[in-house]
Amino acid sequence: MMKFTRRDVMISAGLAAPALLAGRPARAAAAEFPTRNIQFVIPYAPGGGFDIYVRVVTPMMEKYFPKRVSIVPINVASGAGSRGVTQLYRAKPDGYTIGILNVPGMFILQQQQGSAAYDLNKFTWIGAIGDGERYFINVGVNSPVKTFADLKALSAKRPIKFSVTGPEGTAYMATKIGAQLLGLKTQLITGYKGSADYIIAAVRGDSDAVVAAVPTTMRFLRGGQLRPVISFESRSSIPGLPDATSVGQPELEKISVERLVAGPPGLPAELQNILSAALAKAVTDPAVTKWGKENDVVMKPKTPQETVAILTEQKAFFEKWKTALSAS
Amino acid sequence: MKHVFGTPIVDYLPTLGLLLLTVMYLVTGYGYAPEARTFPVTVAWVAIALVLLDLLSRTKTPAGEAVTRWLNPSTSAGKLEAQTHYALSKQIAAAAWPIGFVALIVLTGFLVAVPVFVMASMYFRGKRSLLISIPVSAAATLFIWFLFAQILQLELYPGVLFNP
Amino acid sequence: MLEMWLSGFQGLLHVDVFLFVVLGMAIGLVFGAIPGLGGSTAIALLIPLTYSMEPFTALALAGGVMGSVPMGGSITSILLNTPGTAPNAATCLDGHPLAQQGKAGLAIGAAGSANAIGAIIGTISVLIVLPIANDIVLLFGPPEFFLMSVFALIVVATATRGKMLRGLVTGAFGLMIAYIGYNDIAGGERFTYGIEYLWDGIHLVPALIGLFAVAEMINLTVKGGTVAKSATAVKITSMTSGLFETFRHLGTVLRGSLIGTTVGAIPGLGGTVVAFLSYSVTVQASKNPESFGKGNIQGVIAPEAAICAHDCSALIPTLTFGIPAGAEMAVFLGLLIIHGMQPGPLMLRDHQVEIYGLIWALTASCVFASFVGLAFVRVLAKITLIDSSILVPLVLSTAFAGSYAIDMSIENVVVTGVFGLLGYLMMRYDYPRLMIIVALVLGGNIERNLHQSMLMGEGGWSIFFARNISIVLMIAIVALLALPIFRALFKYWRVRTVSVGE
């Protein structure tokens, strides 16, 4: 699905022709990588969280390759992202197609769709953008609930209404698991279209509480609209709040959204290393770090091994909670 | 042309088609969990009622005429302007071309299908001269290639035949 | 605040910023015209180019794009019955018949001027509303969205008065199609029959392209000849006739702008519904509703004014809360965040100048685009004189390519083909197409908002009576349904008193 339409076919044909003709082995090809534009698959629509992170980081990545090329982000959002993931999975492992994957989002989606088109374990993992984002439980700033104790007390009287997206989203998972770990009785108002949407519901008073990731929570906190009541982090980044340690539920910290970067299965190790190094340098680039600070996004580089470890941990966590999630 | 209740069968066909689709939809709908099927099933039942009314309105029976008068006044025989009738074969042929184009795109991808289709439409069907057909086909392909593949950096679909 | 407003305007007066607005406008025109591409594609494409720009300049560019997209779309809608963007589908309904009568220039001119005026009215409203935007967005929740959707559906249905039964049938059909796909509420897929592509449901824009563009191309092939029936009418196209028509129907423009502005500020219905809503209301208010769909210029003015007003006021929920009122706004939001501007109350505090600059850029672009449209009116009208054997394959090629390009799914092309057939059948058998579109767009909204409403408050229907706006909307719906009954009764009573009086 590749060469036919790239103008760079000419360029790369010109560059690669001597190599091909001489029949040099793959190692030498890695020495010249990259020689043309790299495609970055984003299985989400433009403007969304994943899209933004990619578009902030990839221009920096371009600087850190041995040769300067463009990284072209393409959005393939069909099927709630599964189309993009499948496209990445089936791409040629020549290093010119990489993509970003939502973990555990992709696990959830795969379970919902019952699709066998891709195996998340077989991707060649390159690194990550942003650190795993943990969650807070928040209430609207006008809510009578002021602390976590209030929330628990309310839960004893009636189920707490949480507004969330649909069952295929990570917010849904975070809400259900978090509520169960914290012993809260809940009623989920599902179907909201995005995080801003369901958070406004809480601000408006339609729901009692919402679960939101750290950057989103900070944004609405600073805007004076939300009040966080408990953090799922082991150490709350907002002082004065209970967290996973203080309520004795360390597993809360395992609930997170990871943005992992990967290449198709079978990507040679040399190419994987080049890509991984460029990504790691991009993530720690001062411009990216500055943006991260302004938007409460922690940018930490991850080696492929660390990435695989994250994946394995997330998979185990998801497997453990899978049945609890599918029961309504 | 066989007539049923005073109207040629052909006039019933679209409504009958809709009825069939709606029934299929309804049957599938009942296979889902109650919460998931409430809306679709309700809408489908309403659709069936409406489609039956539509069928009735097409007949020339007194009841049918009443329905038409109340709900479809601009289509009653007295008010219909002369609708030009085109030969059925002509219409089917006209519809077949875009469908064939779609099939061609799926099989061979845009960069083959577009020039082939434009050439075929202009030269074979439209009986235009080669002098016009070839440049226009080439220009169309070039435009699509330039806009989508170059500027937008999209990969134009290469077709099933070229991409197992 | 006034100084900010003015400095926003002054910011545009720098040559480089101004050039970017014009560049954005040109890009928006082209992307708006090509079906399947639109503001969202254009802005997504431009994001990498903006990295080195100042936020103000980046916003000016984005505003330039967003302002001219509707005009670009209306040109192809009128000339070729091909909606460049989804909201422009409403313009096809009367715009293309006008083109067929050789009055394409008139239609384009009217569309352009309606656009411009709609944008100006929309902008002024935004500026007035922005300070209280917070409260407005918070007033409208699922119960209100549900009632608004139902209201819109009924309004559009009554606009098909002459063919109401058929309109209702297509509406029901549209609703049925709307429920294909993944069910956000309870999980699980519906009516996808195992096809992965249908997980997202029937994608709207490919369906629209099929229903309007492909269907019309089939029709044109059957009829043969050119789009315009009479070349003489085309040859006397004047630049200003469209402009005059718009001013003649200023009431329609105002009404459309009002609808666009109010609905845009509330992220509930979306641009496509707004356009059809404005169209339907105008049909209702007209003295001869049967003339619509056959080339009534008001049928072009109403939706176009609404679309531009809507695009302006759609900035309100996007900027104040980060709730994007549509795909274009979603990408725009991304642009904002990449440039370090977080939507929210802080944005209004810290980046007021940029916001005003953006709004000015959008309005300016809309007005410029109208001028461009007006300037090229005679050239564009000539397109209606191209023979169908050339025009049809070209339009079909672009339409299918555009449909594919939306998200690179070949299935989009199949959907466009299928809906093309469907659209043609609907044309031949005289079923109104506008109901199916509005139903398709609103079907999911209605179900979702009702479900959410039932879970809020005390549960069940109580929530509708607990909120002021809900009550107002319910009264409005009842009034709307009762209106035809009252009208009939009134007529009957009038007839009786007259005959008794004799």
CATH number at residue A180: 3.40.190.10
Is a pLDDT exceeding 90 seen at residue C28? yes
Residue of C50, C342, C413, C464 for testing the chain A interface, max A β-carbons within 10 Å: C342
Range of the domain at A228: 135-254
pLDDT band with cut points at 50, 70 and 90 for residue C88: very high
Are C138 and A203 in contact (CB < 8 Å)?
yes
- Per DSSP, the three-state class of C286 is coil
Q: What is the pLDDT of residues C414-430, one digit of tens each?
A: 999 999 999 999 988 88
Range of the domain at C494: 467-502
- Complete DSSP assignment for B140-156: HHHHHIIIIIIIS----
Q: Cα distance from C321 to chain A (closest Cα, Å)?
A: 7
A56 closest CB neighbour out of C199, C200, C338 = C338
Average of per-residue pLDDT across B57-80 = 70
d(CA A61, CA C331): 22
Is a pLDDT exceeding 50 seen at residue B67? yes
- Residue C224 — left, alpha, or beta (φ > 0 → left; ψ -120 to 50 → alpha)? left
Amino acid A190: pLDDT: 92
Are B140 and C393 in contact (CB < 8 Å)?
yes
* Burial of C124: CB neighbours in 10 Å, binned 0-12, 13-18, 19+: middle
Are B155 and A5 in contact (CB < 8 Å)?
yes
A246 and A148 in one domain?
Answer: yes
Is a pLDDT exceeding 90 seen at residue C137? no
Residue of C146, C160, C165 for testing the chain B interface, max B β-carbons within 10 Å: C165
Q: What is the pLDDT of residues A261-283, one digit of tens each?
A: 999 999 999 999 999 999 999 99
Is a pLDDT exceeding 70 seen at residue C124? yes
- Per DSSP, the three-state class of A210 is strand
Are B154 and A4 in contact (CB < 8 Å)?
no
Q: What is the pLDDT of residues C164-193, one digit of tens each?
A: 888 899 999 999 999 999 888 888 889 988
Q: Cα distance from C37 to chain B (closest Cα, Å)?
A: 10
CA atoms within a 13 Å half-sphere pointing along the CA-CB vector of C148 = 21
Average of per-residue pLDDT across A49-78 = 89
C410 closest CB neighbour out of B98, B106, B140 = B106
C376 and C478 in one domain?
Answer: no
Is a pLDDT exceeding 60 seen at residue B48? yes
Average of per-residue pLDDT across A119-137 = 92
Q: Within its chain, how far is the Cα of A13 from the centroid? A: 36
Is a pLDDT exceeding 80 seen at residue B163? no
Amino acid A9: pLDDT: 43
C214 and C189 in one domain?
Answer: yes
Q: What is the pLDDT of residues C299-339, one digit of tens each?
A: 999 999 999 999 988 888 888 888 887 888 889 989 998 88
Is a pLDDT exceeding 60 seen at residue A16? no
Q: Which of A134-143, C57-66, C82-91, C157-166 has the lowest mean pLDDT?
A: C157-166
pLDDT band with cut points at 50, 70 and 90 for residue A140: very high
Q: Which of residues 165-204 of A touch C (CB under 8 A)?
A: 165-168, 187, 189-192, 194, 196-197, 200-201, 203-204
- DSSP element (H, E) containing A42: strand A38-42
Amino acid C349: pLDDT: 80
C-alpha distances in Å from residue C370, one per residue of A47, C305, C358, C360:
28, 12, 18, 15
Whether C45 contacts chain A with CB within 8 A:
no
C169 closest CB neighbour out of B18, B28, B35 = B18
Q: Which of A8-22, A111-125, C408-422, C441-455 has the lowest mean pLDDT?
A: A8-22
Q: Is the dihedral of CA C224, C230, C236, C241 positive or negative?
A: negative
pLDDT above 90 covers what percent of chain C?
A: 44
Q: Is residue C117 part of a domain?
A: yes
Are B39 and C446 in contact (CB < 8 Å)?
yes
User: Which residue would you say has higher pLDDT here, C319 or C64?
Assistant: C64
A165 and A104 in one domain?
Answer: no
C330 closest CB neighbour out of A47, A79, A219 = A47
- Residue A140 — left, alpha, or beta (φ > 0 → left; ψ -120 to 50 → alpha)? beta
pLDDT band with cut points at 50, 70 and 90 for residue A22: very low
Amino acid A29: pLDDT: 58
Task: Give first-to-last CA distance, chain C, whole Å.
Answer: 66
Is a pLDDT exceeding 50 seen at residue A10? no
| Cα torsion through C381, C385, C387, C393, rounded to 10 | 0
* CB C444, CB C233: distance < 8 Å: no
Q: How many distinct structural domains can be found in chain C?
A: 2
Q: Cα distance from B152 to chain A (closest Cα, Å)?
A: 10
Average of per-residue pLDDT across B107-127 = 88
A126 and A272 in one domain?
Answer: yes
What residues of A are in contact with residue C142 (Cβ under 8 Å)? 201, 206
d(CA B158, CA B112): 8
And the tokens for A213? 């990731």
A203 and A55 in one domain?
Answer: no
Which of C104, C108, C103, C84 lies closest to C32 in space, CA to CA? C84
Is a pLDDT exceeding 80 seen at residue B129? yes
Are A200 and C138 in contact (CB < 8 Å)?
yes
Range from A28-32, A309-313, C127-131, C386-390 that averages highest in pLDDT: A309-313
Amino acid B127: pLDDT: 81
Q: Is residue A9 part of a domain?
A: no
Are C164 and B72 in contact (CB < 8 Å)?
yes
What residues of B are in contact with residue A36 (Cβ under 8 Å)? none
C196 closest CB neighbour out of A115, A203, A225 = A115
Q: Is residue A170 part of a domain?
A: yes
Amino acid C211: pLDDT: 94
The per-residue pLDDT of chain C, averaged, comes to 88
Average of per-residue pLDDT across A162-168 = 90
Average of per-residue pLDDT across B5-12 = 76
Amino acid A17: pLDDT: 44
A262 and A124 in one domain?
Answer: yes
Which of C466, C442, C400 lies closest to C153 in space, CA to CA? C442
Q: Cα distance from C271 to chain B (closest Cα, Å)?
A: 24
Amino acid C113: pLDDT: 93
- Please identify, among A233, A254, A275, the residue that sits at the C-terminal boundary of a domain: A254
Amino acid B76: pLDDT: 55
A299 and A273 in one domain?
Answer: yes
Strands A124-128 and A258-263: antiparallel
User: Which residue would you say has higher pLDDT here, A98 or C466?
Assistant: A98
Are C186 and B132 in contact (CB < 8 Å)?
no
- Which CATH number is A66's domain given? 3.40.190.150
Q: Cα distance from C141 to chain A (closest Cα, Å)?
A: 7
- Per DSSP, the three-state class of C53 is coil
Are A191 and C185 in contact (CB < 8 Å)?
yes
pLDDT band with cut points at 50, 70 and 90 for residue A55: very high
What residues of C are in contact with residue B21 (Cβ under 8 Å)? 173
- Give the residue on B whose Cα is nearest the Cα of C445: B39
Interacting residues of C24 by C-beta distance below 8 A, sequence separation 6+:
C46, C60, C61, C62, C63, C64, C65, C66, C67, C68, C361, C365
- Give the residue on C whose Cα is nearest the Cα of B128: C389
Is a pLDDT exceeding 50 seen at residue C246? yes
Q: Is residue C156 part of a domain?
A: yes
Is a pLDDT exceeding 60 seen at residue A20? no
pLDDT band with cut points at 50, 70 and 90 for residue C43: very high
Which of C85, C49, C70, C44 lies closest to C366 in space, CA to CA? C70
Are C407 and A219 in contact (CB < 8 Å)?
no
And the tokens for A171? 């917010």
d(CA A291, CA A288): 5
What residues of A are in contact with residue B111 (Cβ under 8 Å)? 4-5
Q: Which residues make beta-bridge pairs with C6?
A: none
**pTM recorded for the entire structure:** 0.89
And the tokens for A87? 């496209």
What residues of C are in contact with residue A51 (Cβ under 8 Å)? 334
Residue spans of beta strands (DSSP E) within chain B: 3-4, 7-8
d(CA A168, CA A44): 13
Q: Cα distance from C321 to chain B (closest Cα, Å)?
A: 30
Q: In terms of DSSP H, where are the helices of chain A?
A: 8-22, 26-32, 49-63, 82-90, 105-113, 148-157, 170-182, 195-204, 214-222, 269-283, 286-294, 304-326
C472 and C428 in one domain?
Answer: no
Amino acid A13: pLDDT: 42
Amino acid A28: pLDDT: 52
C63 and C196 in one domain?
Answer: yes
Residue owning tokens 């007035």:
C128
Is a pLDDT exceeding 80 seen at residue C203? yes
Are C408 and B155 in contact (CB < 8 Å)?
yes
Q: Cα distance from C5 to chain B (closest Cα, Å)?
A: 35
- DSSP element (H, E) containing C174: helix C164-178
* Burial of C371: CB neighbours in 10 Å, binned 0-12, 13-18, 19+: middle
Is a pLDDT exceeding 80 seen at residue B147? yes
pLDDT above 70 covers what percent of chain A?
A: 90
A79 closest CB neighbour out of C185, C197, C342 = C197
Q: Which of residues 6-35 of A touch B (CB under 8 A)?
A: 6-7
And the tokens for C98? 């006008």
pLDDT band with cut points at 50, 70 and 90 for residue C62: very high
Q: Cα distance from A90 to chain C (closest Cα, Å)?
A: 15
Q: Is residue C404 part of a domain?
A: yes
Is a pLDDT exceeding 70 seen at residue A4? no
What residues of A are in contact with residue C451 (Cβ under 8 Å)? 190-191
Interacting residues of A113 by C-beta distance below 8 A, sequence separation 6+:
A79, A80, A82, C189, C196, C199
How many A×C Cβ pairs under 8 Å? 140
Q: Is residue C7 part of a domain?
A: yes
C307 and C218 in one domain?
Answer: yes
What residues of A are in contact with residue C51 (Cβ under 8 Å)? 59
* CB A127, CB A276: distance < 8 Å: yes
Average of per-residue pLDDT across B133-140 = 91
Contacting subunits of B (3+ beta carbon pairs below 8 A): A, C
Amino acid A328: pLDDT: 46
- Give the residue on B whose Cα is nearest the Cα of A38: B153
Q: Cα distance from C46 to chain B (closest Cα, Å)?
A: 10
d(CA C228, CA C33): 20
Kindly give the interhelix angle for A49-63 and C327-338, rounded to the nearest 10 degrees: 50
Whether A72 contacts chain B with CB within 8 A:
yes
Are B95 and C218 in contact (CB < 8 Å)?
yes
Are C188 and B151 in contact (CB < 8 Å)?
no
Q: Cα distance from B93 to chain A (closest Cα, Å)?
A: 33
- Give the residue on C whose Cα is nearest the Cα of A195: C323
Amino acid of residue B131: L
Q: Is residue A27 part of a domain?
A: no
Q: Is residue A17 part of a domain?
A: no
pLDDT band with cut points at 50, 70 and 90 for residue A21: very low
Average of per-residue pLDDT across A143-155 = 93
Q: Cα distance from B157 to chain A (closest Cα, Å)?
A: 8
Please state, as a whole number, how many other Cβ atoms lie within 10 Å of the Cβ of residue C335: 23
And the tokens for C347? 């944005």
Residue owning tokens 């900070």:
A218
Q: Within its chain, how far is the Cα of C284 from the centroid? A: 19
d(CA B11, CA A261): 57
Are C387 and B46 in contact (CB < 8 Å)?
no
How many A×B Cβ pairs under 8 Å? 24
Q: Is residue A150 part of a domain?
A: yes
A128 and A261 in one domain?
Answer: yes
Which of A164, A213, A217, A220 lies closest to A192 in space, CA to CA? A164
What residues of C are in contact with residue B136 (Cβ under 8 Å)? 390, 394
pLDDT band with cut points at 50, 70 and 90 for residue B79: very low
- Give the residue on B whose Cα is nearest the Cα of A74: B154
A246 and A149 in one domain?
Answer: yes
Q: Which of A13-17, C318-322, C491-495 has the lowest mean pLDDT?
A: A13-17
User: Which residue would you say has higher pLDDT here, A8 or C120?
Assistant: C120
Q: How many distinct structural domains can be found in chain A?
A: 2
Q: Cα distance from A26 to chain C (closest Cα, Å)?
A: 31
